[in-house]
Amino acid sequence: CGGRCPGCRSIYNKDRILGTSISNQILKELCADKSNLQHEQTKLQKQKSATNQLRVAEEPIDHPDNVRVIQRKLVYIIGMPSEFASEKILRQKSFLGQYGKIENIIIDNIGANQQIPDSGRVYVTYSREEEAVLCIEAVNGYILDGRPLK
């Protein structure tokens, strides 16, 4: 390299660099200090992770069962009799289709409701919020096949 440092290209005395040596005692001390430093860093990391785990355990977890998502276009109906719980029937203009354009219908747990036997839940997604509001106002409390809809 012509007497220059390969990294920064500054001039240096090669004999001076090669002639310096570290005694074994100094080398052992440096290694011991490095080992102690690594040991301390490992200890601190373990303490931090234990503290973080404790903090996470104390904080409430946002589990899907604990979080309520509000969708303004969604109508949730409970108490739907099983004979009416068909997507074809629900989409009809004489039924839920009269309130607006229905994007999606999900029928859930027909017959699983212990309070009102042979009934279930229906989720209806309309294309606009106003349509969903109209449906909620009309359906809430409506008696269908002798059963109240909520």
User: Where in the chain are the domains?
Assistant: 74-149
Higher pLDDT, 72 or 52: 72
Q: In the structure encoding, which two tokens stand for residue 20, read together?
A: 């310096």
Taking only Cα atoms into account, the Rg of the chain, rounded to an integer number of angstroms, comes to 36
The dihedral through the CA atoms of 141, 142, 145, 150 has a sign that is negative
- Residue given tokens 């509000």 in the structure block: 70
* CATH number for the segment(s) 74-149: 3.30.70.330
d(CA 32, CA 25): 11
Residue 122: φ, ψ to 5°: -130, 130
| pLDDT for residue 67 | 53
Predicted local distance difference test score (pLDDT) of residue 38: 75
Give dist(CA 55, CA 60) in Å, integer.
Answer: 10
pLDDT of 4: 77
Question: Mean pLDDT over residues 121-133, rounded?
Answer: 91
Q: With beta carbons less than 8 A apart as the criterion, state whether 143 and 137 touch.
A: no
What pLDDT, on a 0 to 100 scale, did the predictor assign at position 126? 94
What 3-state class would DSSP assign to 70? coil
Does residue 98 carry a pLDDT above 90? yes
Question: Do 81 and 141 form a contact (C-beta atoms < 8 A)?
Answer: no
pLDDT digits (tens, 9 = 90+) for 3-36: 777 778 887 766 666 655 555 566 566 666 666 7
User: What is the per-residue pLDDT for 104?
Assistant: 92
Average pLDDT of the segment spanning 64-71? 62
Give the number of other Cβ atoms within 10 Å of residue 85's Cβ. Answer: 21
Rounded to whole angstroms, how far apart are CA atoms 63 and 30?
50
| 99 against 26, higher pLDDT | 99
Average pLDDT over residues 29-57: 68
At 31 the three-state DSSP class reads helix
pLDDT of amino acid 147 = 84
Residue type, 135: C
Residue 75 CA from chain centroid, whole number: 24
pTM score, whole prediction: 0.52
What is the predicted pLDDT for the residue at 28? 64
